[in-house]
Chain A
Amino acid sequence: MNIIVLIKQVPDTTDVKLDPKTGSLIREGVESIINPDDRHALEAAISLKKAEGGKVTVLSMGPPQTIDALSEAIGMGANEAILLSDSAFAGADTWATSFTLGKSIEKIGRYDLIFCGRQAIDGDTAQIGPQVADYLHVPQVTYVFEIEKILKKTIIVKRRLEDGYERVQCNLPALLTVIGELNVPRYPMVGKLIDACKEKSPIKIWNASDIGVQANDVGLEGSFTQVIKTFAPKFKRQGEMLEGDARKVAGTLVEKLKENKLI
């Protein structure tokens, strides 16, 4: 079974801080990690490989430091990794990113399954998985929390819904986006981490010409959407001091709460 996993390197924080002047993300002092949902995708792929045999290839688009995330994926047990890195890829929206990933997957060639995390903690779009599946014309199942069975040409999985779940059988090759409930990701092994950091590590770097795309099809130029402005919403606290003795204050408080339909 040939499995491809798409991962993203993200800042290690759920509490993203923006520079109030420039509106851009403050990265200083923030460590980068593999996006949490993507870690579950990696675990799913690696445990499936251990059970069924085959190979896991990890793919990520990002700046050169993304290689750390790929080394960690190799440490967890992936066989090889590909970093898509080129200044032409910079500034891509989810469509341009999906196109670039799709082109790369075509270059990789034969595959049975593609795993993605549900969404990244920095962008929260949840669009990459579905768009890549669409580009490749393969079926997709999102929000997967259980892989029930793998048959010769199909797979049976469960996907989480707000009020229950769906049991879905779909043809292979397919793309699955997974959620944290699916598994507990393993830790990388020291020996494999060390190997991943060596010169002969199984990590390749591909640029725009490697995957046969023009600069105007990818990155900012190839994007349908553009971010005009990012900003942190301002929170204003509306406090009101109640005056008087305890009895009076309690009475006013109850009235105010009723007024605002809070009780």
Chain B
Amino acid sequence: MNFDLIEEHKMIRDMAKGFADEVIAPSAEEMERTGQYPYDIMNKMAELGMMGIPFPEKYGGSGGDWVGTHICIEEISRGDITLGALLDVTTSVTGQEIDVFGTEEQKKEWLVPIAQGTKIGAFALTEPDSGSDAGALRTRAVLEGDEWVLNGTKQFVTNIGLDNASIALIAAISGKGQRGNIISTFIVPKDAPGFQLGKGYEKMAWHGSATHEIILENCRIPKKNLLGDPSRGFAQHLAVLETGRISIAAVSVGVAQACLDEALHYARERTQFGRPIFDFQAIQFKLADMAVSIELARNQYLKAAWLKDQKRKHTFEATVAKLFASEMVEKVASDAVQIHGGYGYMDEYPVSRYYKGAKLLQIVEGTSEVQRMIIGRVLAGGM
């Protein structure tokens, strides 16, 4: 048993920490206020190799592992939640699905630019009538000669609105089997004929995140853009979403750490009744509880990522990490606002941004309710 980070992980952490503090954090408030996507920061992250940490060097990656990837995601998210989510979607989910299930040709064409960060990947599963019940999707794909023709609508597609977004991995019904619809995954380039980028959403927060709807109207893609096993597209999606859950846990820990740092700083500075409010037990206990839950959530996402690196089953651990960390960050962010009092509700203090942002972490990559369903299935011995 050893809880020490290895040198490689410490180095990645220190680099990402410095980058988050010096480059991201100073721009985070403006990103949220203006909704301008931070291309300059993304390009720097790409140059430093942050988009391709877990992928082999021959596919443009850094040859690292999933622990290192998630340590990086935590630190980046401490600077800005949307950049952490960007890494989740482009690296943990989209990049990984191509890396694990793609052909050599597909990896060269689509994974290399995603791993290098020159292009950003997106992942499209959710539809207007198919959210937690992801298997109920309606988008259809029909093979016509050498092309697949896709029709349907995908919702809440993170990253796809970015100028340098290259593809979306799209799950669609491609036929009928003995047990119902066959779902396949397709690599759909953003510039494919019939691919329409829908409107960007007006969101409560996460304004730096380029989330759009996608409308596929007789969208034509080459036959070779089918990803992996045509009958296992849904299972492929679910497999990489398991990593996505670890990533959202790491994002949650990063945001929660930012909340604790701000709240601790404020509690020491703010004087009421003649002493810093930190001296009051009511405040100190809140801070202590925040620190406790962050510590536990961090240990859990690291454990899940470590199991993944050992190529061992980690459905339970990843789901526990996601559920605990995303519930934790909403509470921690709420307490951080509370410690700030009225100031905490003002946009000039970062905790108001953290609080608004934290809520979504209980919803993305499977809601807290879905996480409990999965844990329930594991307990029932079904997974």
Contacts and interface: CB of A to CB of B under 8 A. Distances in A.
A190 B64 contact: yes
A71 B19 CA distance: 18
Given A190-B62, A191-B63, A68 B7 contact: yes
A191 B7 contact: no
A190 B48 contact: yes
A16 interface: no
A194 interface: yes
Interface in B54-84: 57, 61-64, 68, 72
Interface in A39-87: 67-68, 71-72, 75
A212 interface: no
Contacts of B26: none
A75 B19 contact: no
A77 to B, nearest CB: 12
A187 B15 CA distance: 7
A182 interface: no
- Chain A interface size band reads 10 to 19
B62 A188 contact: no
Interface string A82-109: 0000000000000000000000000000
A193 B15 contact: yes
Contacts of A187: 15, 18-19, 44, 48
Contacts of A188: 11, 15, 48
Contacts of B47: 189
Nearest to B61: A191
- Chain B interface size band reads 20 to 34
Contacts of A192: 49
B10 interface: yes
Given A72-B11, A197-B11, A190 B49 contact: yes
B17 to A, nearest CB: 10
A244 B2 CA distance: 65
B6 A197 contact: yes
A139 to B, nearest CB: 34
Nearest to A195: B63
B50 interface: yes
B8 A193 contact: yes
B116 to A, nearest CB: 10
A194 B62 contact: yes
Interface in B12-60: 12, 14-15, 18-19, 44, 47-50, 53, 57
Given A68-B7, A197-B7, A190 B18 contact: no
A71 B64 CA distance: 15
B251 to A, nearest CB: 18
B51 to A, nearest CB: 9
A193 B19 CA distance: 15
A226 B116 CA distance: 52
A190 B87 CA distance: 14
Contacts of B53: 190
Most interface-central of B10, B49, B61 (chain A CB within 10 A): B49
Interface in A169-204: 187-197
Most interface-central of B11, B15, B64, B72 (chain A CB within 10 A): B11
A190 B10 contact: no
Main secondary structure of the interface of B (DSSP, over half): helix
B57 A190 contact: no
B11 A75 contact: yes
B10 A68 contact: yes
Contacts of B50: 190
Contacts of A197: 6-8, 11
A137 to B, nearest CB: 37
B290 to A, nearest CB: 20
Nearest to B6: A197
Contacts of B49: 189-192
Most interface-central of A189, A194, A196 (chain B CB within 10 A): A194
A71 B11 contact: yes
Interface in B79-93: none
Nearest to A12: B14
Given A187-B48, A189-B47, A189-B48, A194 B8 contact: yes
Interface in B189-242: none
Contact of A193 (B12, B18, B57, B61): B12
A75 B6 contact: no
B340 to A, nearest CB: 27
Contact of A190 (B6, B7, B15): B15
B15 A75 contact: yes
Contacts of A68: 7, 10-11
B11 A193 contact: yes
Nearest to A198: B8
A193 B16 CA distance: 12
Contacts of A196: 11
Contacts of A75: 11, 15
A187 B47 CA distance: 10
Nearest to A67: B7
A204 B53 CA distance: 26
A148 B53 CA distance: 37
A194 B64 contact: yes
Given A68-B7, A71-B7, A197-B7, A191 B12 contact: no
Nearest to B44: A187
Contacts of A71: 7, 11
B75 to A, nearest CB: 12
Given A71-B7, A193-B8, 7 more contacts: A31-B14, A72-B14, A72-B15, A187-B48, A189-B49, A189-B62, A196-B11
6 contacts: A68-B7, A75-B15, A189-B49, A190-B12, A190-B62, A190-B68
- Sorted from nearest, which 10 A-B pairs have the closest CB atoms? A191-B62, A190-B49, A197-B8, A190-B62, A193-B11, A191-B49, A197-B7, A189-B49, A194-B64, A188-B15
Interface of A: 31, 67-68, 71-72, 75, 187-197
